[in-house]
A and B are shown apart, each in its own frame.
Chain A
Amino acid sequence: MSEHMDTAHHGPAKGWTRWILTTNHKDIGTLYLVFSLIMLFVGGSMAFVIRAELFQPGLQLVVPEFFNQMTTMHGLIMVFGAVMPAFVGLANWQVPLMIGAPDMALPRLNNWSFWILPFAFAMLLSTLFMAGGAPDFGWTFYAPLSTTYAPPSVTFFIFAIHMMGISSIMGAINIIVTIFNMRAPGMKMMDLPLFVWTWLITAFLLIAVMPVLAAVVTMMLMDVHFGTSFFNAAGGGDPVLFQHVFWFFAHPEVYIMVLPAFGVVSQIVPTFSRKPLFGYHSMVYATAAIAVMSFIVWAHHMFTVGMPLTGELFFMYTTMLIAVPTGVKVFNWVSTMFKGSMTFETPMLFAIAFIVLFTIGGLSGLMLAIAPADFQYHDTYFVVAHFHYVLVPGSVFGIIAGVYYWLPKWCGKMYNEKLGQLHFWLSFIGVNLTFFPMHFVGLAGMPRRIPDYALQFADFNMITSLGAFLFGTTQLLFVYIIIKTVRSGKAAEQLPWDGAKGLEWSVPTPAPYHTFSTPPVVGEK
Chain B
Amino acid sequence: MRQLLQLICSALVLSPGTSVALEFNMPAGVTQTSQSIYGLHMTIFYICLVIAIVVFGVMFWSIFHHRKSKGAKASQFHGSVLVEIIWTIIPIVILVAMAVPATKTLVDMYDTSESDIDIQVTGHQWKWHYKYIGEDLGFFSILATSKEEIENRKKKNPNYLLEVDNPLVVPINKKIRFLFTSNDVIHAWWVPDLAIKKDAVPGFINESWTRIDKPGTYRGQCAELCGMHHAFMPIEVKAVSEDDYALWLDEQKALKQAEAASTELEWSQEQLMTAGAKIYEKNCAVCHQADGSGIPQAFPALNGSPIALGPKADHMAIVIQGRLEKGMPAFGEQLSAVDIAAVITYERNSWDNKTGDKVTPAEVQAVMEKQ
Q: Which residues of A contact B (CB under 8 A)?
A: 55-60, 64-65, 68, 131-133, 136-138, 142, 144-145, 148-149, 151, 232-234, 238-240, 273-282, 304-306, 309, 312-313, 316-317, 320-321, 323-324, 327-328, 330-331, 334-335, 337-344, 352, 355-356, 359-360, 363-364, 366-367, 370-373, 375-376, 378-380, 439-441, 443-445, 447-460, 462-463
Query: Once bound together, how far apart are the Cα atoms of A58 and B14, in whole Å?
Result: 12
Q: Across the two chains, which residue of chain A brings its CB closest to B51?
A: A363
Q: Mark B193-221, 1 if CB is under 8 A from A, else 0.
A: 00111110111101100000000000011
Query: Once bound together, how far apart are the Cα atoms of A310 and B68, in whole Å?
Result: 53
- Which of B80-88, B302-310, B330-338 is the interface stretch? B80-88
- Known A-B contacts A57-B16, A334-B55; A324 and B95 likewise in contact (beta carbons under 8 Å): yes
Contact between A372 and B106 (Cβ–Cβ < 8 Å)?
Answer: yes
Q: Across the two chains, which residue of chain B brings its CB closest to A281?
A: B79
- The smallest beta-carbon distance between A257 and chain B, in angstroms, is 21
Query: Once bound together, how far apart are the Cα atoms of A440 and B301, in whole Å?
Result: 42
Contact between A335 and B83 (Cβ–Cβ < 8 Å)?
Answer: yes
- Per CB-CB distance, the 10 closest pairs between chain A and chain B, nearest first, are A233-B203, A458-B17, A450-B231, A440-B24, A306-B206, A455-B17, A444-B23, A276-B78, A341-B74, A363-B48
- Known A-B contacts A312-B106, A340-B72, A379-B197; A450 and B230 likewise in contact (beta carbons under 8 Å): yes
- The smallest beta-carbon distance between B20 and chain A, in angstroms, is 4
Interface assignment of B254: CB less than 8 Å from any CB of chain A: no
Q: Which of chain A's residues have a CB closer than 8 A to the CB of B156?
A: 57-58, 455
Q: Which of chain A's residues have a CB closer than 8 A to the CB of B109?
A: 372, 375
- Known A-B contacts A64-B229, A274-B74; A149 and B327 likewise in contact (beta carbons under 8 Å): yes
- The smallest beta-carbon distance between A268 and chain B, in angstroms, is 14
Contact between A59 and B75 (Cβ–Cβ < 8 Å)?
Answer: no
The B interface, classified by DSSP as helix, strand, loop or mixed, is: mixed
Contact between B195 and A376 (Cβ–Cβ < 8 Å)?
Answer: yes
Contact between B87 and A239 (Cβ–Cβ < 8 Å)?
Answer: no
Q: Which of chain A's residues have a CB closer than 8 A to the CB of B253?
A: none
> A379's contact among B8, B19, B23, B223, by CB below 8 Å, is which?
B223
Contact between B95 and A304 (Cβ–Cβ < 8 Å)?
Answer: no
Contact between A447 and B222 (Cβ–Cβ < 8 Å)?
Answer: yes
Q: Across the two chains, which residue of chain B brings its CB closest to A366?
A: B48
12 contacts between A and B (CB under 8 A): A56-B15, A65-B228, A68-B230, A278-B77, A304-B199, A306-B204, A337-B66, A342-B67, A363-B48, A367-B41, A370-B41, A372-B105
> B52's contact among A142, A323, A359, by CB below 8 Å, is which?
A359
Query: Once bound together, how far apart are the Cα atoms of A342 and B71, in whole Å?
Result: 10
From A280, A327, A359, A370, name the one whose CB has the most chain B CB atoms within 10 angstroms: A370
Q: Which of chain B's residues have a CB closer than 8 A to the CB of A454?
A: 159-162
> B6's contact among A142, A364, A455, A459, by CB below 8 Å, is which?
A459
Q: Across the two chains, which residue of chain A brings its CB closest to B69?
A: A343
Contact between B295 and A65 (Cβ–Cβ < 8 Å)?
Answer: yes
- Known A-B contacts A274-B74, A367-B45; A456 and B22 likewise in contact (beta carbons under 8 Å): yes
Interface assignment of B44: CB less than 8 Å from any CB of chain A: yes
Q: Which of chain B's residues have a CB closer than 8 A to the CB of A56?
A: 14-17
Contact between A316 and B106 (Cβ–Cβ < 8 Å)?
Answer: yes
Q: Which of chain A's residues have a CB closer than 8 A to the CB of B180?
A: 306
